Amino acid sequence: MRNGGRIAAAIDVLSDVLTRHQPVKSAARDWGKRARYAGAKDRAWVSGLVLDALRKRNSIAHAMGDDSPRGLILGALAHAWGWNIREIDAAMDEEHAPSKLTLQERERLVMAPDPTAPPHVQGDYPEWLAPHLARVFGEEAAVEAQAMAVRADVDLRVNTLKVDAEKAAAPLKSAKAEPSKLLHNAYHIPARDPSQREASLESIPAYSKGWVEVQDAGSQIAAAAANAQPGEQVLDYCAGGGGKTLALAAQMQGKGQIFAYDIDGRRLSALIPRLKRSGAHNVQLVHPSEPTQLEDLTGQMDLVFVDAPCTGTGTWRRRPDAKWRLKPGQLAKRQQEQTDILAMASTFVKPGGRLVYATCSFLMEEDEDRVSEFLAAHPEFTEEDAAEAAIASGLLTDDGAAMVRNYRGPSGSVRLTPRRAETDGFFFAVLRKA
Ligand SMILES: C[S@@+](CC[C@H](N)C(=O)[O-])C[C@H]1O[C@@H](n2cnc3c(N)ncnc32)[C@H](O)[C@@H]1O
């Protein structure tokens, strides 16, 4: 396909996303089915442009004076992809392109960003969240959010159950992976350019051999704060697809026992092939249909990890459509779930054991507020220094250690963000039972 046709397709896909409230993935898949002539490279190009338009939706709409799918896609070419007006003009002259640029579009496409626009416009987030971002980031709300309005890098965790970081290095060269600045056993791959379709990471042999897992560095650092020891009894209470379970298993070097529970049995099933690939033999799945299996663990665990369901605001770089779908009611619902889950999960901690609470949200309502509410209702728990706990795992580099200390809050919890750490937004707190 020529670029003109791809731009027209991106406008169609974005219309579906905005009017039918579809995720980009399914809107792009539907378009791909209609457009049999489109190849894999075209699909990557079109989805990539739609995602970038959504990442910067408010600032592009403000610059273009137009928040229609056409305005957003044209604006994304200029303001996200850096195309100049001649390149856009040339594409719009091609066959199957949308109608030519209007005079107003031409003027708007070359305008510089407006430094007087309000923070939710400069930072590209929904206006109703403005007080929430101001609460957590103060005057830095717009710059913090701008770092969430770009494409995300990819991190790999080296599975030390199978290989060490040095041995993993050579096969990762083809994926352009560099050693992580923050973690010893991790590699970092800069965000990919959607106009250059590259092989998926899952297709590299190091992945199928179980040498590496795709896991954001923020998620790896949150798991490090658990500092799980060989021989411990551990419950991963919201195990889902098992990202944290596998990281904990590696920390424990195959010794001790991990119980992986999730209220959603289907999500747990996704963990089975991952466990096989990873070579972790000490993980037992606790299915929600067998509640007595879970009850037996009451008061027995050295460590309970709660990777709580949340609004996912920390992952806006990867899922920019979710940023605009989020509504106040969902935030309230997640807070209630977090309260209930913390109370329930804490019953499995043995005296002297620890409870780690993590979210991939930067909202204090899902983070510090939930922890302090829990502590007020459970005086047998006290909060410890989560930065020092992560450092004690031995998994962080000197830069990683300095970074978690720098972003440790007054009560000991840590909040990482794309701007601070080039990770997803992550929050983690460590609570110890007397
Ligand atoms: C953030 S995700 C977990 C991601 C996972 N730990 C990982 O690292 O890949 C949150 C999980 O909590 C689960 N969940 C939601 N409510 C729950 C509850 N009441 N009890 C246990 N798990 C719950 C969801 O099904 C979801 O899989």
Three-class SS state of 381? strand
Closest C-alpha to 141, from 124, 163, 116: 124
Cβ–Cβ under 8 Å, residues 164 and 187:
no
Q: Binding-site residues, please?
A: 262, 307
Please indicate whether residue 274, judged by its CB atom, sits closer than 6 Å to ligand 1: no
The response to whether residue 240 sits with its C-beta less than 6 Å from ligand 1 reads yes
Q: Which residue of 262, 333, 423 sits with most ligand 1 atoms within 8 Å of its CB, as the best mutation to test the pocket?
A: 262
Instruction: Indicate if ligand 1 lies below 6 Å from the C-beta of 288.
Output: no
Mean pLDDT calculated for residue range 244-258 = 97
**346 in Cβ contact with 322 (< 8 Å):** no
- Ligand 1 atom nearest to CA at 359: 1
Ligand 1, atom nearest to 310 Cα: 1
**Ligand 1 center to 198 CA (angstroms):** 31
Segment 102-124 shows an average pLDDT of 95
If you write DSSP's letter for every residue of 184-210 in order, what string do you get? TTEEEEPPPPTTS----GGGSHHHHTT
pLDDT at position 103, please?
95
Tokens 């930065």 map to which residue? 387
Burial class (CB in 10 A: 0-12, 13-18, 19+), 364: middle
263 CA → ligand 1 middle, Å: 7
Is 197's pLDDT higher than 70? no
Alpha-carbon distances, residue 113 vs 58, 59, 69, 139 (angstroms): 12, 8, 19, 19
- Any idea what DSSP says for residue 408? B
Whether the CB-CB separation of 302 and 104 falls below 8 Å is answered with no
| Predicted local distance difference test score (pLDDT) of residue 174 | 80
* Ligand 1 neighbourhood includes 342 CB (under 6 angstroms): no
Question: Of ligand 1's atoms, which has the minimum distance to the CA of residue 241?
Answer: 9
* 261 vs 272: CA distance, rounded Å: 13
Distance (Å, whole) CA 282 – CA 253: 9
Indicate the helix (H) or strand (E) that contains 326: none
User: Tokens at residue 216, please?
Assistant: 């954001």
Residue written as token pair 């103060």? 138
Is residue 350 helix, strand or coil?
strand
Find the radius of gyration of the CA atoms of the chain: 23
On whether the CB atoms of residues 427 and 414 are closer than 8 A, the answer is yes
- Tens digit of each residue's pLDDT (9 = 90 or more) over 130-173: 999 999 999 999 999 999 999 999 999 999 999 988 888 888 88
Q: Return the residue matching tokens 């040498």.
A: 211
Q: Does 360 qualify as catalytic in the annotation?
A: yes
- Phi then psi for 53, rounded to 5 degrees? -65, -40
pLDDT for residue 176: 85
Determine which residue's CA is closest to atom 7 belonging to ligand 1.
243
Please give the pLDDT value at position 172: 85
**Per-residue confidence (pLDDT) for residue 106, from 0 to 100:** 95
pLDDT in tens, 55-107: 999 999 999 999 999 999 999 999 999 999 999 999 999 999 999 999 999 99
Percent of the chain scored above 70 by pLDDT?
99
Looking at residue 198, its pLDDT comes to 66
pLDDT tens string 309-318: 999 999 999 9
Q: What is the pLDDT of residues 415-434, one digit of tens each?
A: 999 999 999 999 999 999 99
Pick from 213, 263, 287, 357 the residue to mutate for probing ligand 1's pocket: most ligand atoms within 8 Å of its CB: 263
Q: Which domains does the chain have, with CATH numbers?
A: 3-110 (no CATH), 217-433 (3.40.50.150)
Mean pLDDT of the chain: 95
Q: How far apart are CA 308 and CA 163, in angstroms?
A: 30
Give, in degrees to the nearest 5, the angle at Cα 256 between 254 and 258. Answer: 90
Q: How many CB atoms lie within 10 A of CB 195?
A: 13
Hey, what amino acid is at 145?
A
Q: Please report, in angstroms and rounded to a whole number, the separation of the first and last CA atoms in the chain.
A: 64
Global pTM value: 0.96
Burial class, 359, CB count within 10 angstroms (exposed 0-12 / middle 13-18 / buried 19+) = buried
pLDDT at 344 over 80: yes
Look at strands 178-179 and 186-189 and give their pairing: antiparallel
Is the pLDDT score of 203 beyond 90?
no
pLDDT at 178: 93
